[in-house]
Structure 1
């Protein structure tokens, strides 16, 4: 392994070699901005779920169903999901780029990270926006009365 010297951060040698966008810079900036937004979203989520109303004892299936019935909380949770998953994937990409020396293995791992994140984002978003607390509730079930009241049946 040979020792390489790094160019000064603002020198022409440190600019992207292909003349395109500096993706590392945008990734770095995304991590800072998404981190701040995630702190607000997560602490807001925790405050509402744990401290408002009856606190943690009120969290049950009905509580989650009620939150997912409100567009505000749907978008709040989807924002947390998207920002958190992309933030985490970008961090894993950085770690992979730092520690995996084989170029092919690095490409395979980074691709696997982004495929997994894409799949989780699609599935998580579908769950949030298509959640129906009355799906699969039978007449003899504990939720039948609440669902009948919600649907007007």
Structure 2
């Protein structure tokens, strides 16, 4: 004779979670919901920014063969393109960082490992955003030598 034993499975969301899977809540509040919403909205904006970037750089003019120092200098002489590329940089980095943060939270089970991976991610993100922003706004296509004369390989618009 076999005895049938009944196994009871707790209903979802009853709060019975294996302790090894619990993490300190730490007052996250609506942060995760806002991060989820940011991913959706920034993704839509990034698609527009990326296709605009690709079309202007690869399909208009000479295509990839025309992308050189002078091309970038000419684009960044226009504040609209500076803003476009800045928004693309910031949104791409923040979108990617949020995705990596989610992966770290999902797969790093130890608090200490999760903390250090997150810190490395945040420092790298801040460095790239700061350096990229500096490049966009301090880019000087019309370079001069010590005597104040234009260097010989500067774009044509520097001579005008």
For the criterion TM > 0.5, the same-fold answer is yes
1:142 aligned onto 2:152: yes
Given candidates 43, 49, 54, the residue that maps to 2:62 is: 54
CA distance in 1: counterparts of 2:55 and 2:155, whole angstroms: 30
Aligned length: 140
Given candidates 79, 86, 104, the residue that maps to 2:87 is: 79
CA distance in 2: counterparts of 1:101 and 1:46, whole angstroms: 39
**Structure 2 gap ranges (5+):** 1-8, 15-24
Deviations 1:70-118 (A, max 9, x none): 1000000000000000000001000000000110110111121111101
- From the superposition, tell whether residues 144 and 135 of structure 1 become closer, same or farther in structure 2 (CA, over 3 Å): closer
**Structure 1 gap ranges (5+):** 9-16
TM-score, length-scaled by structure 2:
0.77
Q: CA deviation at 1:142?
A: 3.3
Matches within 5 A, 1:1-150: 6-7=12-13, 21-135=29-143, 141-143=151-153, 146=156, 148-150=158-160
TM-score, length-scaled by structure 1:
0.80
Which structure's residues are more often helix, by fraction?
1
RMSD: 2.7
